[in-house]
Amino acid sequence: MSPATSPSGEPVVELTAVRKEYPGGVAALAGVDLTVRRGEMTAIVGPSGSGKSTLLHIVGTLDRPSSGSVRIAGHEVADLRDRELSALRAQSLGFVFQSFHLAPGVSALDNVADGLLYSGRPLRTRRREAAEVLERVGLADRMAHRPHELSGGQKQRAAIARAIAGDPVLLLADEPTGALDTASGDAVMALLHDLNAGGTTIAVITHDHEIAATLPRRVRLRDGLIVSDTARAAA
Amino acid sequence: MRAARPRPARLSAADVLRTGAAGLRTRPARVVLSALGIAIGIATMISVVGISASGKADVQRRLDRLGTDLLVASPGVSLLTGEKAAFTPGAEKTARRIEGVEHSAATGTLTGTVRRSDKIPEEDTGGITAQAATETLLATLRGELRRGTWLNAGNGRFPSVVLGSVAARRLGVDEIGRQVFIADRYFTVIGILAPLPLAPEIERSALTGWDAAREYLRFDGRPTSVYARSADGAVSRVRGLLPRTIDPRNPQDVKVTDPSAALQAKAAATGAFTDLLLGLGAVALLVGGVGVANTMVVSVLERRHEIGLRRSLGATRGHVRLQFVTESLLLSVLGGAAGMVLGSLATAAYAASAGLPPVVPVWSISAGFAATLAIGTLAGLYPAVRAARLSPTTALQTP
Ligand SMILES: Nc1ncnc2c1ncn2[C@@H]1O[C@H](COP(=O)(O)OP(=O)(O)OP(=O)(O)O)[C@@H](O)[C@H]1O
Ligand SMILES: [Mg+2]
């Protein structure tokens, strides 16, 4: 195993007894303990409605748990105010969504550069770093293209570029290949593997068993509980 | 190990503007339509204020030329006879002796009618009066001749007449040398006056020399009006002295008027109409503001994903609020700027067609700008607060 995936890295995500209940009594998460260490690449799998997206939102500090402790990059989320969580997302987290969420009518370069807006970098720096990261995801020749001029796979690569532009501690992806054909999906997964090899900690939600099988660690959810975790099994 | 609390970044003013403008750039048609209301409101208000200011500037310009230092004294109505009294002969010369009076003149109303010829019936006066005038009248009124010459010691003794501008038009006289019938004989027209805004009664008069009036029209030589032109700043003092100087026995009956004040009052009276139009402009502006607010509310609903994405990228609630308020402000300022240009153009066009000096007061531009900013902020506040309250996870949910 490569040193990047060694489980001895410092913890980036530490969930302890995390519950999330939605109004109406649905327990989307029913007591989850999960630790993700720096450099890991984790697949989160499970049937529809098992709580995968909910878990990702809580890890990504987009939502707070009903109970339990969430520590992200060393910060106890319950101790932080909303604006501090926003700052934490700006500095330490990157998100990739199934439906890309690129701004229409805006070039790939500016879409990526805008991802750095809330980190406080000046425009020139944002543009320069966006160009660098677009080169890394293989879109050097598509920077001026607007989303409707890109293929699905290219859109997702631009979205990944936006997510990693700020060099986040943790990259979270919710079904990044869900809207793509197999070839484009494979290219996106290859890119994520490359990034992980470069040191980025990644968690990917996926429905695709083949894709899940290629990841070093797999966490399986059912009814809001972790039913299997290859890391824990190995330990 | 305890990490330092994360602190959100402050956006530069340029980034705030860029982000606010980004929402507008992709929806140009909607921007134009919702800014239109504000533009119409501001244009109405600017042009109403501008046209009224241009009109006032015109009055002021005319007053500056005509002078605000002319006074007209007329005798009161006699309590005994009920008839309009007259001053003693030479009252204008007495008035001239008041310190500060630079010119004085007198007119005396004559009894005969003025007609084109003796064939026109006597009742058909056309509102024209025959008056005797002293030679000094033209200089005192700062009047000008459109044609011919003014009365002087020579022609003033003969049956010659100078017509006021309105009198000339009503009599159909356009050149000198023509004859008009006054009382019971013909007079030769030797001059036609240019308009006299300060003395409309002279515009409607046929003026004969003082001596000719005594000789041919049974004039008793008693003035019925005395005109006094005073030096700068002496008007109010002259006004106080005039009655007892020209009529020491009945000073309380003497009526002194300031024709420039009447002109000014007339200009001010147009203000009532202006207020009504201004109110209409305000209503248009309000409707424009509601339009902007509506656009912003719709925009927030449509852009839930964008808001969620920005929150995931690290935007605080404050950042989102600021973005939408900025967007609303830009929308409103865009409309306001267009309105100011339109309003100024309308003022210029109206002023040019009416021969007024075009004036758009600076205060109206600043007030328009302030109103625009206030409306933009108010219209954007509620949608912005709604946008900021949106939970990031629901915003990101794919429908
Ligand atoms: N905003 C919400 N309000 C109420 N219930 C919710 C909300 N979001 C999710 N749930 C419920 O919580 C449970 C977990 O939802 P979640 O979206 O995490 O599932 P998932 O594993 O991501 O499913 P999928 O694979 O279909 O995306 C589901 O039963 C869902 O109905
Ligand atoms: Mg999901």
Subunit contact B313:A114, Cβ cutoff 8 A: yes
Evaluate whether residue B1 is within a structural domain: no
Q: Is there a contact between A115 and A165 (Cβ–Cβ < 8 Å)?
A: yes
With CA atoms as reference, the chain A residue closest to B13 would be A122
Asked whether residue B280 falls in the same domain as residue B362, the answer is yes
- Tokens representing residue A208 in the block: 């695709």
B266: exposed, middle or buried (Cβ count in 10 Å: 0-12, 13-18, 19+): exposed
User: What would the pLDDT profile of B349-377 be if each residue is shown by its tens digit?
Assistant: 999 998 889 999 999 999 999 999 999 99
**Residues B51 and B188 reside in one and the same domain:** no
Domain boundary pick from B212, B229, B258: B258
Torsion of CA B78, B79, B82, B87, to 10 degrees: 0
Beta-carbon separation of B8 and A118 below 8 A: yes
Give residue B83's pLDDT band: very low, low, confident or very high (50, 70, 90): low
pLDDT band at A75, cuts 50/70/90? Answer: very high
Helices vs. strands in chain A: H and E counts, helices first: 8, 10
Distance A48 CA to ligand 1 centre (A): 8
Would you place residue A4 in the very low, low, confident or very high pLDDT band (cuts 50, 70, 90)? very low
The whole-model pTM stands at 0.77
B389 min Cα distance to partner chain A (Å): 11
| Domain end (from B229, B258, B287) | B258
Mean model confidence pLDDT for chain B: 88
Question: In this model, does residue B155 exceed pLDDT 90?
Answer: no
Could you tell me the residue range of the domain that residue B204 belongs to?
A: 69-258
CA-nearest of A33, A36, A47 to A74 is A36
Q: Which residues of B make CB contacts under 8 Å with A?
A: 1-3, 5-12, 14-15, 18-19, 22, 25-26, 305-306, 308-319, 391-393, 396, 398
Sequence-separated (6 or more) residues with CB below 8 Å from residue B83: B77
Q: Quick one: pLDDT at residue B27?
A: 86
Residue A110: both structure tokens together: 């500016």
Q: What is the pLDDT of residue A234?
A: 60
Domain count, chain B: 2
Q: What is the pLDDT of residue B158?
A: 84
Q: Which of ligand 1's atoms lies nearest the C-alpha of A55?
A: 18
> Do B193 and B294 reside in the same domain of the chain?
no
**pLDDT for B266 beyond 90:** no
- The rounded distance, in Å, linking the Cα atoms of B350 and B332 is 26
pLDDT of residue A1: 41
pLDDT of residue B271: 61
Amino acid at B336: G
**Is B35 part of a structural domain of the chain?**
yes
Place of tokens 């677009």: A134
CA distances from A75 to A87, A89, B99 (A): 12, 12, 93
Question: For residue B32, what pLDDT is reported?
Answer: 92
For the stretch B379-398, pLDDT in tens is 999 999 999 999 999 878 86
| DSSP element (H, E) containing A136 | helix A123-136
Instruction: State which of B258, B285, B319 marks the end of a domain.
Output: B258
Per-residue pLDDT tens over the stretch A13-56: 999 999 999 988 889 999 999 999 999 999 999 999 999 999 99
Q: Report the helix count and the strand count for chain B, using DSSP H and E.
A: 14, 10
Considering the domain boundaries, does residue B3 fall inside one?
no
Residue of B nearest to A98 (CA): B398
Instruction: Please choose, from the candidates A102, A109, A159, the residue with its C-alpha nearest in 3D space to the C-alpha of residue A132.
Output: A109
Among candidates A67, A70, A8, A1, which has minimal Cα distance to A37?
Answer: A8
> Which amino acid is residue B387, in one-letter code?
A
Same domain, B112 and B249: yes
Instruction: Indicate if B198 and B226 belong to the same structural domain.
Output: yes
Q: Write down the pLDDT at residue B111.
A: 86
Both B85 and B59 in one domain: the answer is no
Q: Is residue B390 part of a domain?
A: yes
Tens digits of residue pLDDT in A117-170: 999 999 999 999 999 999 999 999 999 999 999 999 999 999 999 999 989 999
Co-location of B370 and B244 in the same domain = no
pLDDT digits (tens, 9 = 90+) for B34-77: 999 999 999 999 999 898 888 888 887 877 777 778 899 988 77
Task: Point out the residue among A80, A105, A119 whose CB comes nearest to the CB of B26.
Answer: A105
Looking at the fold, whether B181 and B223 belong to one and the same domain comes out as yes
More confident position, B267 or A211: A211
In this predicted complex, what is the ipTM?
0.94
pLDDT exceeds cutoff 70 at A94: yes
pLDDT at B270: 64
A66 lines ligand 1 (CB under 6 A): no
**Pair B126, B156 in one domain:** yes
Does some domain include residue B314?
A: yes
Which CATH number applies to A11-234: 3.30.420.40, 3.10.50.40, 3.40.50.300, 3.40.190.10?
3.40.50.300
Task: Looking at the complex, report in whole angstroms how far the Cα of residue A211 sits from the nearest Cα belonging to chain B.
Answer: 22
Q: What is the mean predicted confidence (pLDDT) over B266-291?
A: 80
Distance in Å, CA B200 to ligand 1 centroid: 88
A90 vs B25 pLDDT, higher one: A90
**Interchain proximity B398–A99, CB inside 8 Å:** yes
Domain boundaries, chain A: 11-234
Is there a single domain that holds both residue B102 and residue B163? yes
Instruction: Grade residue A57 by pLDDT with cuts at 50, 70 and 90.
Output: very high
Q: What's the gap in Å between B273 CA and the centre of ligand 2?
A: 65
Name which residue leads in pLDDT, B234 or B133.
B133
B129 and B27 within one domain: no
Which of B12, B312, B316 comes nearest A95 by C-beta?
B312
Facing residue for B393 by CB, picked from A62, A84, A87: A62
> Is residue B40 within 8 Å of B284, Cβ to Cβ?
yes
Which pLDDT score, from 0 to 100, does residue A2 have? 42
Same domain, B222 and B342: no
For residue B74, what are the contacts with CB-CB under 8 A and spacing of at least 6? B224, B225, B226, B254, B255, B257
Which residue of B312, B393, B396 to mutate against A (max A Cβ within 10 Å)?
B312
